[in-house]
Structure 1
Amino acid sequence: MANSSFVTEFLLLGFSSLGDLQHVLFVVFLSLYMIILSGNFTIISVIFLDHSLHTPMYFFLCVLSVSETLYTIVILPKMLINLFSILRTLSFMSCATQMFFFLGFAVTNCLLLGVMGYDRYAAICQPLHYPILMRWRMCGQLAGACIITGFLISLVGTTLVFILPFCGSNKVDHYFCDISPVIRLACAETYTNELIIFICGVLVLVLPFIFICISYGFIVRTILRIPSAEGKRKAFSTCASHLTVVIVHYGCASSVYLRPSAKYTSGKDRLVTVTYTIITPLLNPMVYSLRNKDVQIAIRKIIGKTGFSPKIL
């Protein structure tokens, strides 16, 4: 240690091993990024402008879209720059900052999906008590709790990584400062730090997912008791979009964060990480706009193509 120099910056290897294919990736990722930004901006604008969408379900969707947008801004612009750049370095503090905000928004998204599951449970299983259970003050408190908890957990995770000494290689085998590829560069014992991070991962991913599964267990039981086929279809349609995003988001995130970093594999992790840093934020506005009749009608109203009022389920 005495003869080692401490790392002051990190080199993001990203997709450098792909050579000229990086230019193709740049075009693909830039196109997807533009769709993500425009899609989420559309969702946020439509919910804000159309008063018929001023309901708890769309309020949480709006918060999720804002979080998803900021989440991608933390990662994708730097990744796009690096695809055309020879110098792909990040200072020590910039790397820590990127990890903090990435984890903060990622955890916030997980918790918001759990709250959205509870909202669907309250709407379908407790319709008479729904206005009380999901009053606006409660919605604001739930959204605020998700954000605060998300960044507190992020602070713990980021601190556990960057209190370690980095005095060897500075080559991060990833396209952003994620936990596993960075902590592997530490020149100290990381078992305790990884264990605490793993426990946080279980709390963030497993508990909300179990809560969502239990909520949907009650939802399915309630829907099956609806006598009309049309009523069942409408009830299921309000949950399909949320379930699609939950399965993709939790599935990909769990495969990366619910295992020791010793089993980190750069190629596989980059592929899976692309899914939840690009595909999931892209999936949100697509499933909530293309599959949601309320949002579709609201968009048509705003652009002046129709005067029909949407029917909130």
Structure 2
Amino acid sequence: MSFALADHWVWDFWHADDGDTHHLFYLHAPKSLGDPHLRHRNARVGHATSTDLTTWKDHGVVLEPGEPGSFDGSATWTGSVIRGDDGVWNMFYTGSQFLSPDVITNVETVGRAVSSDLASWTKQPDRISADPRWYETLADGSWHEETWRDPWIHRDSTGLWHMLITARARSGVAQDRGVIGHVTSPDLEHWTTQPPLSEPGAGFAHIEVVQLVTIEGRSVLLFSCDTGHLAGAREADGAQGGIWALPLESDSLEGPLDTAAAVRLTNQHLYAGRAVQTRSGQWVLLAFENVDRDGTFISGISDPLPLSWATDGSLSVSTARAKVNA
């Protein structure tokens, strides 16, 4: 394990590289809460730095919830960081608002914060919510939350920015509505919601922590779904959850993404995996240590694990810790 905190649970994270230092932004909540399930409604975003993806220096909290009743009034959840053409760093993050201390019902909204140095962040007035034309909302009454989280930013060859989001469709079997939400922007400030990039019925109640990357010239979509949120044939066949990989023909996002064809990359001991490229060009997987064999939550970020393409065209991860030339 490369990063952990003694007195806090650590789980989802995202990464930025300023050309000199690797930056880790991570969710954490105090273990004094007692029950690890309570971490979700008490999450803050922390910041750590490293030169080798293995030894990290922690810098503490950089993004906290807003005022009670605001879109991020309960917790700040998973996001991504991207540098704009003006040199400003943008953090798109999930704001969570739990409607009651006694139930898990919550509304998720994407917000934005900006920084010049990746250390000090200022929230912006931007808000992106689930569009009921295409996406399930809390008002539909079919799910316990308004699922609209984990934004991942991708720029295509024309310069258009794409935001890929954990979302749910408005139609289909309730347990099997997980889709990849889609929003586009010419400038990282003005966003237009699009129909989902994938179809419901792929066997996932949610498609979490999406990442689109190109590894050794081949594009791949990474996401996570745990065993308890598998659906359809996957659930019927007794499949297990974890990190999933879907090789793509390109990263153009011109056609629908066939998430039903995704293959599991790891079991759910690891979760919320991120492919990270070292400056030497090596691709590795970082993930958080999720649960042990007894289902007990572990916490902490894994050592970097080498990624490569198998002979059958699937993405493969080695369990041996990578020797990283950062």
TM-score range, shorter chain: under 0.3
Q: Which structure shows the higher strand fraction?
A: 2
Given the two structures, how large is their TM-score scaled by the length of structure 1? 0.26
Q: Highest CA radius of gyration, 1 or 2?
A: 1
Q: Which structure exhibits the higher relative contact order, with contacts defined as CA atoms closer than 8 Å and separated by 6 or more residues?
A: 1
Given the two structures, how large is their TM-score scaled by the length of structure 2? 0.25
Q: Which structure shows the higher helix fraction?
A: 1
